[in-house]
A and B are shown apart, each in its own frame.
Chain A
Amino acid sequence: MSATERAGDPIEARVERVFREVFEDPALVVGPSTTAADIPRWDSLEHINLIMALEAEFAVEFTSVEVTTMSRVGDLYPILRGKLSQR
């Protein structure tokens, strides 16, 4: 799938795709309520990998407050929508 095709997908689908790539699980399903309790490998080190992968996927930069206060997948959607809408 090309970058253009990826960019046309809903945010939720693109986020899920990033999660699958970072955690190397093509069957991983994530939703708004998904937390680290649902993904055992999701610790502080993987959180940074995830953040950097999301920043690359969406061409955005998260603030330190956004990164440190994040605890579930659902926290990402409004942040990403806000950043993408500012373009």
Chain B
Amino acid sequence: MTVSVEAGATFDRLAALARKRSYFFSDIWQRSRALFGEPWVEEFVDNIDRLFGREAGGWEAAVDGYAEFALDAMRNQKYFEANRTYRYHSLAEIEGRFYRSEAHMMRNYLPGMFLSHYLWPHHFRLLTFFREQILPAVPAGARRFYDVGIGTGVYSREVMRALPQASGTGFDISEYSIAFTRNLLTAFGLSDRYSFVLSNIYTASLPEAKADFLVSQECLEHLEDPTRFCEILLALTRPGGRAYITAAINAAHSDHIYLFRSPDEVRALLEGVGWRIMTFRAEYAYTDRPAELTPCVAGFLCER
């Protein structure tokens, strides 16, 4: 596929802007382009334009947000490599410092995380796996979809696009994740069928209606009690319904507090609370380091 001249030129301008504003965090742009090719360029440029291209300074904000997000990950990964533990271990340590900070969430964390879904090869590979193998496995006729811990809303966007007959609900503890996801879904014309619940899922009253399909993407490592969380996800899903649950493993970030050391640990947790694992995929950030020091993200298709 040949990328449109316009998309290619736009990407080149974005990459040049990244190089100018954050030189050492810009090389990944061209590396990912070389890795994933021109369809990736088209999609990446479309997303940047829809989310960041409509406001003055939007591109700069996206580029800067990604650089700060990447720096945060790298600094924390260095800490993890030296100490074999994450820096923080409780919600109390991170909630006020990060989730309640508009500046951190809207300028750094959420734009950066959104771009990482495209710029980080292991994230984009897992997104591709979701599109190609998980979405086709959503129960036929699924009409109710839940996303618990919506983050940037990327996976809600994928599901809502794939299931035009479904309604979706996103649950999150952060008003900023909700705002970002609302913007994303609106930009793609998907917001009419989607609603939000701002709550702590551990303490909130659970909806009586159960999901046909549920997603919780890279939430477990942010939690003090991921076991209880996965029990709640089970309770939110109808018998026979399916869920796609992912976790970051040996992957440090400012707000990662629960350390999973292998995909097997995540699998054991899920099966321990009653999920049946149908398939899974683990993607690693790089291949030249020991596994126990390599950031990994693993996704599990589960059935209740």
A44 and B27 contact, Cβ closer than 8 Å, known pairs A52-B78, A68-B67: yes
Query: Are A48's CB and B67's CB within 8 A?
Result: no
Question: Interface range on chain A: under 10, 10 to 19, 20 to 34, or 35 or more?
Answer: 10 to 19
Query: Are B78's CB and A44's CB within 8 A?
Result: no
Interface residues of A in 30-83 (CB under 8 A from B): 36, 42-45, 47-49, 52, 64-65, 67-71
Please measure, in the bound complex, the distance between the C-alpha atom of A15 and the C-alpha atom of B6, giving whole angstroms: 43
Query: Are B74's CB and A36's CB within 8 A?
Result: no
B24 at the interface (CB under 8 A from A): yes
Q: Is the interface of A mostly helix, strand, loop or mixed?
A: helix
Residues in chain A near residue B75, CB distance under 8 A: 48, 52
Q: Is the interface of B mostly helix, strand, loop or mixed?
A: helix
Contact residue among A36, A42, A43, A68 (Cβ-Cβ distance under 8 Å from B71): A68
Residues in chain B near residue A44, CB distance under 8 A: 24-25, 27-28, 70, 74
Residues in chain B near residue A65, CB distance under 8 A: 68
Give min CB distance, A1 to chain B, whole Å: 25
A64 and B23 contact, Cβ closer than 8 Å, known pairs A44-B28, A45-B74: no
Contact residue among B24, B70, B78, B108 (Cβ-Cβ distance under 8 Å from A70): B24
Residues in chain B near residue A42, CB distance under 8 A: 24
Query: Are B23's CB and A43's CB within 8 A?
Result: no
Q: Mark B76-102, 1 if CB is under 8 A from A, else 0.
A: 001000000000000000000000000
Please measure, in the bound complex, the distance between the C-alpha atom of A69 and the C-alpha atom of B61, giving whole angstroms: 13
